[in-house]
Chain A
Amino acid sequence: MAVTDQAQTAVPRPATGAPARRPLRVFRNLASKIAAIPMVLTALVIFVGCTLWTVVYSFTRSGMLPRLQFVGLDQYERLWSTPKWLVSIQNLAIYGICAMVLTLVLGFLLAALLDRKIRGEDVFRTIILYPFALSFIVTGLVWQWLLNPDYGIQNVVRSLGWESFEFNPLYNPDLVIFGLLIAGIWHGTGLSMCIMLAGLRGIDEDIWKASRVEGIPTWKTYLFVIIPMMRPVFVTCLVLIASGIIKLYDLVVAQTGGGPGGSSEVPAKYVMDSMFGAQNLGQGFAASSMMLLSVIIILIPWAYLEYGGKKRV
């Protein structure tokens, strides 16, 4: 270390002709750099290191315990020929798109309604945010009961006299993913509403006054003035919702257990089932590597568009 430091100090001095006392770049803000070392190490070892380890072991035939016995792309071939995995991907796509759109739209609508200075705002805000305080396990169980045809909504409506009423998504393979969606949105909308409400409160009152003076209808002000101004808020919401979608697991386990007939499987559950249920770590690692890859494929172009090219003011 010391040798390289001397070399670095020795080389630039004659070239730049900088004053001899000028501190090295490496040593600038030394205290904060030292303070950052633990976090840098954590990030490198835990995030990057463990990710690489997982990817490497996805090329092996590890069973219950990891072992370095390489089998090439076998695990990936098996993964992509497994119907369960294909169903998982499809489910995640349906759930992801619907949850993303609905949570954002509903969150914004609720926030906009609360922002109209209504009476009892605190009460409504608490009620709507409340589901977020519950874990996904509790949410899943609550909705499992609500959607159970013998005890839940269907039974209540039928007992009110509408005998032919049918609302039974959890036992219908084609609809079960929407049963999960209802629970997911019920759980997540409150948070995005709160973030958006904070964003709306951050809008300068003068903007509203100006739009009123110009005679612009309220809905147009929201659509063309306020929403573009709230871009950072939307990005925050988007990231939070997206990470919730990718890791969708506990809700499925609690609400449907992947059923009926494996029609509500999701990738994260496939990973867990392979790693611990089937005692096949290699297969689980292959599946989680594919999840990582899909996140990267979405993330990199987005990050490039968002932060690359021009520096935003």
Chain B
Amino acid sequence: MKLTTSLLGATALCAAVAGTTAGAVELEVSHWWTSGGEANAVSKFAEALNATGTHTWVDNAIAGGGDTARPIMISRILGGDPMDAFQFNHGRQAEELMEAGLLLDLTDVAEAEGWKDLVNPPSLLDACTIEGRVYCAPVNIHSWQWMWLNNKVYTDLGLTVPTTWQEFVDTADEVRAAGKIPLALGGQPWQSSGAFQVMAIALAGKEPWLAVYQDHDESVVNGPEFTAVFEAAAQARELARGSNVQEWQQATNLVITGEAAGQIMGDWAQGDFAMANMVAGQDYTCLPGLGVNEIISTGGDAFYFPKQDDPEVEAAQKELASLLVSPDVQVSFNLAKGSLPVRGDVDLADANDCMKKGLEILAAGNTVPDTNMLVTPDTSQQINDLMTEFWATDMSATDAQARFAEIIANAE
């Protein structure tokens, strides 16, 4: 009885508190940024929103990466209990949610702020747009096509730090002989799939890559360029033996601590190098396009805002959307995350060597769309399944090639 009364009292108190702060909205935001660098970056958003003084950022981070987090977010939205904002990789992941009208239309915010003119490259905004309506706020550009090397591993062995994939492969034996893993690779499916497509774009080149991922032309998969890619991947598989870790940040950590020499991973790895107080160019080296083809894909993250009935929440959601794209927030967030800003008009004076390389490639226009924009999650999952099997077992390069061709032929 006593408990009931005190509970009732507490409820009344809560209601009273909520009543006094009308107008201020608590925005629950879901994302999967949980590694050290990522968490640091997302706190910039939270600080910016809390600094407005009216609304508060309620953080709802889901650990385990996008493959774990996306199903949770989707089932919450479909289940009628949506959060106020959530992060996806922009592309086709949220396609059906937009089509079904479950997301807030941000077109008025986009027009008022002129996103169309300032978001660069424009493909980022296109991925948010369906039938002329804008449904998401792009926040950063991430590219997959990077290789990270620990300089100390090489200098200790009296080697020069590799500048191309071929040099990396040539020195791998000596790295292995020193008891270190040449290539760190986590066990999560998207990592092996990503490493493969990075090797594909670096070793096969832009045109064949686009023919496969964009036009879904399976004859190119069976062509000589991709045969070479599959052979190189089989070689890389041997180099990755012994990295018994799951998450990407654990694999990155192997490189940071010098247990492994290198890792193929997107530029989000940079945040973790920075958190470990390592200096680009001095302690670690980054090779865009594996040092062969300096092309980056312009994927990234975007925030989506599920529809809520409350107009007050809706206004707060729109405020948050414009805040995320605003210049100051773009700079502080992207510096922490190691990603590139979505707008061309901000100054990244504090950018390190690797980010500058990325900005140069971006300015030169050597970009391709991200795979998430080109293939459906269904196809992407099939590729993931194939790649994780290929990297973890002794599947031959020709078998993998045949199965990959089949997936591409059936892709929508």
- Cβ B96 vs Cβ A279 within 8 A: yes
Q: A1 to chain B: closest CB distance in Å? A: 35
Distance of A260 Cα from B244 Cα, bound (Å) = 10
Distance of A231 Cα from B397 Cα, bound (Å) = 53
Q: Which residues of B contact A262 (CB under 8 A)?
A: 189, 385, 388-389, 392
Distance of A283 Cα from B410 Cα, bound (Å) = 14
Q: Is B71's CB within 8 Å of the partner chain A? A: yes
Q: B412 to chain A: closest CB distance in Å? A: 10
Q: A87 to chain B: closest CB distance in Å? A: 9
Which residues of B from 215 to 256 have beta carbons under 8 Å from A?
244, 246
Q: Is A121's CB within 8 Å of the partner chain B? A: no
Q: Is B74's CB within 8 Å of the partner chain A? A: yes
Q: A115 to chain B: closest CB distance in Å? A: 42
Q: Is B187's CB within 8 Å of the partner chain A? A: yes
What are 29 inter-chain pairs, A to B, with CB distance below 8 A? A64-B74, A64-B96, A65-B78, A83-B389, A83-B403, A148-B244, A173-B393, A257-B188, A258-B189, A259-B246, A259-B388, A259-B392, A260-B187, A260-B392, A260-B393, A261-B390, A261-B391, A262-B385, A262-B389, A262-B392, A274-B381, A275-B71, A276-B71, A276-B75, A277-B70, A277-B71, A277-B377, A277-B381, A280-B381
Which residues of B from 146 to 190 have beta carbons under 8 Å from A?
187-189
Contact with A257, one of B95, B187, B393 (Cβ below 8 angstroms):
B187
Which residues of A from 15 to 68 have beta carbons under 8 Å from B?
63-65
Q: Which residues of B contact A125 (CB under 8 A)?
A: none
Contact with B96, one of A63, A149, A274, A275 (Cβ below 8 angstroms):
A63
- The digit string for B40-73, where 1 denotes a CB below 8 A from any CB of A, is 0000000000000000000000000001001100
Q: A248 to chain B: closest CB distance in Å? A: 18
Distance of A65 Cα from B246 Cα, bound (Å) = 31
Residue tally, chain B, CB below 8 Å to A: 30
Distance of A113 Cα from B92 Cα, bound (Å) = 59
Contact with B389, one of A261, A273, A283 (Cβ below 8 angstroms):
A261
Q: Is B376's CB within 8 Å of the partner chain A? A: yes
Q: Which residues of B contact A83 (CB under 8 A)?
A: 385, 389, 403
Distance of A272 Cα from B71 Cα, bound (Å) = 9
Contact with A276, one of B70, B376, B391, B393 (Cβ below 8 angstroms):
B70
Q: Is B364's CB within 8 Å of the partner chain A? A: no
Q: Is A203's CB within 8 Å of the partner chain B? A: no
Distance of A149 Cα from B244 Cα, bound (Å) = 9
Which residues of B from 94 to 136 have beta carbons under 8 Å from A?
95-97, 100
Q: Is B347's CB within 8 Å of the partner chain A? A: no
Q: Which residues of B contact A283 (CB under 8 A)?
A: 378
Q: A281 to chain B: closest CB distance in Å? A: 10
Q: A95 to chain B: closest CB distance in Å? A: 19
Distance of A279 Cα from B70 Cα, bound (Å) = 10
Q: Which residues of A contact B389 (CB under 8 A)?
A: 83, 261-263
Q: Which 6 A-B pairs have the closest CB atoms?
A: A261-B392, A276-B71, A278-B381, A64-B96, A260-B392, A261-B389
Q: A63 to chain B: closest CB distance in Å? A: 5
Contact size range, A = 20 to 34
Which residues of A from 269 to 310 have beta carbons under 8 Å from B?
272-280, 283
- Cβ A64 vs Cβ B385 within 8 A: no
Q: Which residues of A contact B78 (CB under 8 A)?
A: 65
Distance of A274 Cα from B100 Cα, bound (Å) = 19
Of the candidates A171, A278, A279, the one having the most CB atoms from chain B within 10 angstroms of its own CB is A279
Number of A-B contacts (CB under 8 A): 76
Q: Which residues of B contact A259 (CB under 8 A)?
A: 187, 189, 246, 388, 392
Distance of A64 Cα from B75 Cα, bound (Å) = 10
Distance of A280 Cα from B391 Cα, bound (Å) = 25
Contact with A273, one of B187, B381, B391, B403 (Cβ below 8 angstroms):
B381
Distance of A259 Cα from B387 Cα, bound (Å) = 12
Q: Which residues of B contact A274 (CB under 8 A)?
A: 381
Given A149-B244, A171-B244, A276-B70, 16 new contacts (CB under 8 A): A63-B96, A63-B378, A64-B97, A65-B78, A173-B392, A173-B393, A259-B189, A260-B388, A261-B389, A263-B389, A263-B393, A276-B75, A279-B96, A279-B378, A280-B378, A280-B381
Distance of A150 Cα from B93 Cα, bound (Å) = 37
Distance of A4 Cα from B390 Cα, bound (Å) = 67
B75 (CB) vs chain A CBs: closest residue: A276
- The digit string for A238-270, where 1 denotes a CB below 8 A from any CB of B, is 000000000000000000011111110000000
Distance of A294 Cα from B189 Cα, bound (Å) = 29
- Cβ B393 vs Cβ A261 within 8 A: yes
- Cβ B100 vs Cβ A65 within 8 A: yes
A273 (CB) vs chain B CBs: closest residue: B381
- Cβ B75 vs Cβ A279 within 8 A: no
B376 (CB) vs chain A CBs: closest residue: A279
Which residues of B from 372 to 402 have beta carbons under 8 Å from A?
376-378, 380-382, 385, 388-393
Q: Which residues of B contact A65 (CB under 8 A)?
A: 78, 96, 100
Distance of A263 Cα from B67 Cα, bound (Å) = 18
Distance of A63 Cα from B385 Cα, bound (Å) = 19
Contact with B74, one of A171, A263, A276 (Cβ below 8 angstroms):
A276
Q: Which residues of B contact A149 (CB under 8 A)?
A: 244
- The digit string for A172-203, where 1 denotes a CB below 8 A from any CB of B, is 01000000000000000000000000000000
Q: B310 to chain A: closest CB distance in Å? A: 24
Distance of A279 Cα from B378 Cα, bound (Å) = 6
Q: Which residues of A contact B74 (CB under 8 A)?
A: 64, 276, 279
Distance of A262 Cα from B95 Cα, bound (Å) = 27
B67 (CB) vs chain A CBs: closest residue: A277
